Structure 1
């Protein structure tokens, strides 16, 4: 992936140098970068890896998913806080994940911890079981498990070939 990006920068630099202009301009570089994207897209199957912008798009989707989930969770927590009588049952539950590798597990743990209403308390030695504290175990558990499933899928799309 990084090699494709460097090749794209090289194509853009060549474009900048080969265009007959008295002074180099940033717009010429960007147009060369766009031409490089087209060339690399046509040739990416010869590299043996997927096109590098696919991973960038998947990363943007993960960020947008996180923003959506944080807004939904924030409204849920605000609703619980603003009710006159606090009717919650905090609790801890476990979740077995399909993610592998330190980066994937760490990313999931951080995304869950940053989402209001849930905190990852501990991760097992193997990294396959999360111990999660939910603000309201009866209501939040289903929401957290739904979020975890979405996060796992998005993280795997970003990290795996």
Structure 2
């Protein structure tokens, strides 16, 4: 995590030296310090590993924000219209994640998405149980959760 620490330190130095204490200026500082680290640390394996993860993190965040927007729109539509389209159910998701940290991240991402709630993890850590407000096609829903799990594995790996 040395590279991340350097990135944040340089970003904070940018904010302090520029004298503009805003979120947008902090984001600019993070991007500029990332570019500086990419140039300075191009021969160091620690920085190379960190610099390779940053695009995956941005891709994951954008993917999850889009998923949140879709889920919020679906729940809001169902709340605002007189007919309720809910078909609640529980689905069992077989897990490829092995470590508890990865399972916790996946469970929290699922719970953060409107319309879904993580209920439990099996005692052998191989199955995650999720309650859904809209369980029309179990195989499609399972595929969506497996895609999210694959992105978490890619992010952690």
TM above 0.5: yes
C-alpha spacing 1:88/1:50, structure 2 compared with 1 (3 Å): same
Between 1 and 2, higher relative CO (CA 8 Å, sep ≥ 6) is seen in 1
Q: Unpaired runs of 5+ in structure 1?
A: 13-24
Contact 1:62 1:151 in 2 (8 A): no
Q: Distance in 2 between matches of 1:142 and 1:158?
A: 24
Q: CA deviation at 1:83?
A: 2.9
Post-superposition Cα deviations, 1:90-134, rounded to whole Å, max 9, x if no partner, equal 111101021121111000000000101111111112322111111
Post-superposition Cα deviations, 1:42-77, rounded to whole Å, max 9, x if no partner, equal x14xx3885212222222222221111010011111
* Matched residue, 2:101: 103
* Matched residue, 1:37: 38
Q: Pick the aligned partner of 2:89 from 78, 88, 91.
A: 91
Equivalent residues, number:
140
Q: Unpaired runs of 5+ in structure 2?
A: 11-15, 19-28
Q: Distance in 1 between matches of 2:91 and 2:34?
A: 49
TM-score by length of 1: 0.69
* Matched residue, 1:51: 49
C-alpha spacing 1:62/1:32, structure 2 compared with 1 (3 Å): closer
Q: CA deviation at 1:86?
A: 1.9
Q: Pick the aligned partner of 2:149 from 127, 152, 155.
A: 152
C-alpha spacing 1:36/1:132, structure 2 compared with 1 (3 Å): closer
Could you say what secondary structure the match of 1:119 adopts?
Answer: strand
Structure label with greater radius of gyration = 1
Aligned alpha-carbon RMSD (Å): 3.1
TM-score by length of 2: 0.71
Could you say what secondary structure the match of 1:131 adopts?
Answer: strand
